A and B are shown apart, each in its own frame.
Chain A
Amino acid sequence: MIEIRELSKSFGTRKVLDKVSFEVGASEVVFVLGKSGVGKSVLLKNIVGILEPDSGSVRIESKTVTSDRAVLKEIRKTCGMVFQFPALIDSLSVKENLKLGLRGHQTLDSEASMNEKAISTLKLCGLPESLLEKFPADLSFTMQKRVSVARALALDPKFLLFDEPTTGLDPVLTAQTNELIRHLAKVSRVGIIVVSHDMTSAIHFAHKIILLEEGRVAFSGGGEEFRKSKVPLAVSFLKEAHVF
């Protein structure tokens, strides 16, 4: 389980997160919504220890996220992150990008098993094996994004954090990505946090929706509750997305 307790983070005088608390269990899909710049990505970066909170804590599988590199490495083995940008290493082929985490966390010891894993995760994300020897520059943005999802999945994480996974994707790929998220949660029992603006997906398959407003949790509950919510920001989000 991921337990976020009273998490606060400021940049200079600007308070981005203000005592944010919620939990994510195995197989659970939690959508974090909010206006642009409200601190959604900052929240994810605090969870995996890329940023350090000013106060509050994050616990993943009973381990507290600290700045200690050894602890962080252990935590990041179980909790992967897919960034808003594909964040693939340009000088490495798709195959080498996919094997980065396996090398870094030393989860598999032979090249053959790493290659096998790279192929299977690529296929899981709906990408052909022929991409393995290509370089990120040879791929479209949407393909790069899916490779970055495959790279995070190669580690078989217990938790996955997605930072706007469907931004820039066409409706077909958006649906495929959402289906993959749903599959991971249901079949592989991965706990998932999705930062997104995709209201329709949030309403339809989030177990929990967290709405952030001015750094605070303005709403926390299921999709159906969100739809009926009277919180002004929730109402305006539903209205803009034409979801009633």
Chain B
Amino acid sequence: MSSNYFVAGIQEIGQVAIFFTRLTGIFFRKGVRIRDIVHQMFEAGVRSVPITVTSGLFVGAIMAIQINEQLKDFGAQSFLGGLTTSVTIRDVGPVLIGFLLSGKVGAYTIAELGTMKVTDQVAALECLGIDALEFIVLPRLVAVFISSFLLLVVGLTLTVFGGAYFSMLALQINVQNYMNNVPQLITTASIVVGVVKSLLFGMLIGVISCYKGYTTVGGAEGVGKSVKNGSVLILVWIVILDFGISTLSRLIQEIFGVL
């Protein structure tokens, strides 16, 4: 039974890879219409700004509370700003904001494409001589990727403000003190790791949501299943990818002395 799941999982990874390769081929051969990307970025991205702003501020605040609890015991609260910002930008921030975006941007894209598939809009396009991958999927993939990346960067930036503001408000820590050792603990490498994670999570949300939407079958029930399975798949892969990048950055640090 478990071996069946394993084989099915490997098959699905292969199918997603083929799907992505086809879309990449179309992108480089034919390009993509900017107008469609802008439209999709508005639908999937701009409408997700409030949730990203809110979650970014609160993630920063939560991290500040938790880390302050630990540092208090050692009388090391002067490190609060640096540690909170470092941990949030490198690790917790991209993961938590990625989770939220999988539920917002990812689920929206799966539901939209899935509905188009089960209501024969995709088949109708093919009958009309239009390549559905080029016409409806590629603009969404590019838009979701760019939107998710930008939202992650905005969210991560706001985690810093969230942490600083909450520390001042609830923990009575001066913002100046909070920010003092941030430059010591936040290196260019920390920011690079955060940005790389944001890029890859953005791509992950785009590819999986487009694939799951495009391969939906089975009417309204099928759309529901695709949204559920796709969102869960994005969450799992965000965690796996996060582990992979964190491990890789640690190895690079050990071997080359950077990151």
Which residues does chain B contribute within 8 Å of A87, judged by CB atoms? Answer: 119-121, 123-124
B123 touches which of A45, A105, A155 (Cβ 8 Å): A45
Query: Could you tell me the distance between the alpha carbons of A80 and B127 in the complex, rounded to whole angstroms?
Result: 7
User: In the complex, which residue of chain A has the Cβ closest to the Cβ of B126?
Assistant: A50
Question: Which residues of A from 59 to 92 have beta carbons under 8 Å from B?
Answer: 72-73, 76-77, 80-81, 83-85, 87-91
B191 to chain A, nearest CB (A): 37
Report the nearest B residue to A136, measured CB to CB: B121
Cβ of A151 within 8 Å of any chain B Cβ, yes or no, is yes
Q: Are B39 and A76 interface neighbours, CB within 8 A?
A: no
A19 CB–B CB distance under 8 Å: no
Contacts of B129 in A (CB 8 A): 73, 76-77, 101, 103-106
Q: B112-129: which have CB < 8 Å to A?
A: 119-121, 123-129
Residue of B126, B127, B130 with highest tally of chain A CB at under 10 A: B127
Most buried by A among B39, B121, B124: B124
- Tell whether, in the assembled complex, residue B123 and residue A50 are in contact, meaning their CB atoms are under 8 Å apart: yes
Known: A83-B120, A84-B120. A89 touches B127 (CB 8 A): no
**Mask: chain A, 143-154; 1 = CB below 8 Å from B; 0 = not:** 000001001100
Cβ-defined partner of B128 (8 Å) among A50, A84, A100:
A100
When A91-B39, A103-B130 are in contact, do A85 and B120 touch as well, CB less than 8 Å?
yes
Q: Which residues of A from 101 to 133 have beta carbons under 8 Å from B? A: 101, 103-106
Cα-based distance from A90 to B39 in the complex (angstroms)? 13
Q: Scan residues 91-139 of chain B and give those whose CB is less than 8 A from a CB of chain A.
A: 119-121, 123-130, 136
* Bound complex: CA A85 to CA B115 (Å): 11
CA–CA, A77 and B130, complex, Å: 11
Whether A83 and B123, one on each chain, are in contact in the complex, defined by CB atoms closer than 8 angstroms, is yes
Q: How far does the alpha carbon of A50 sit from the alpha carbon of B130 in the complex, in Å?
A: 13
A2 at the interface (CB under 8 A from B): no
- CB 8 Å contact bits of B121-160 with A (1 = contact, 0 = none): 1011111111000001000000000000000000000000
Question: Which residues of the partner chain A approach B121 to less than 8 Å between Cβ atoms?
Answer: 85, 87-90
Residue among A83, A88, A148 with most chain B CB within 10 A: A83
Are A83 and B124 closer than 8 Å at their CB atoms? yes
Residues facing B in A17-60 (CB within 8 A) are 45, 48, 50
The answer for the CA separation of A91 and B125 in the assembled complex, in Å, is 13
Q: How far is the CB of A44 from chain B (nearest CB, A)?
A: 10
Produce 1/0 per residue, B58-70, CB < 8 A to A: 0000000000000
Chain A residues with CB below 8 A from B136, complex form: 89
B-contacting residues, A189-235, CB 8 Å: none
> With the chains together, A77 CA to B120 CA distance in Å?
18
Q: Which residue of A lies closest to B121 (CB)?
A: A87
Contacting residues, chain A, for B128 (C-beta < 8 A): 76, 100-101, 104-105, 151, 155
Q: Are A48 and B125 in contact (CB under 8 A)?
A: no
**A155 to B, closest residue via Cβ:** B128
Q: A100-B130, A103-B130 known; A89 and B125 CB under 8 Å?
A: yes
Shortest distance between the CB of B219 and any CB in chain A (Å): 11
Binding site for B on A (CB under 8 A): 45, 48, 50, 72-73, 76-77, 80-81, 83-85, 87-91, 100-101, 103-106, 148, 151-152, 155
| Interchain residue pairs A-B with the least CB separation, the first 7 | A104-B129, A87-B124, A101-B128, A105-B129, A83-B120, A104-B130, A87-B120
17 contacts between A and B (CB under 8 A): A48-B127, A50-B123, A50-B127, A76-B126, A77-B129, A81-B124, A81-B127, A87-B121, A87-B123, A88-B121, A89-B136, A91-B39, A100-B125, A101-B127, A103-B130, A152-B127, A155-B128
Q: Can you name 14 extra interface pairs (CB under 8 A) apart from A73-B129, A101-B127? A: A50-B126, A76-B128, A77-B129, A83-B120, A83-B123, A84-B120, A85-B121, A89-B125, A91-B39, A100-B130, A101-B129, A104-B125, A105-B128, A106-B129
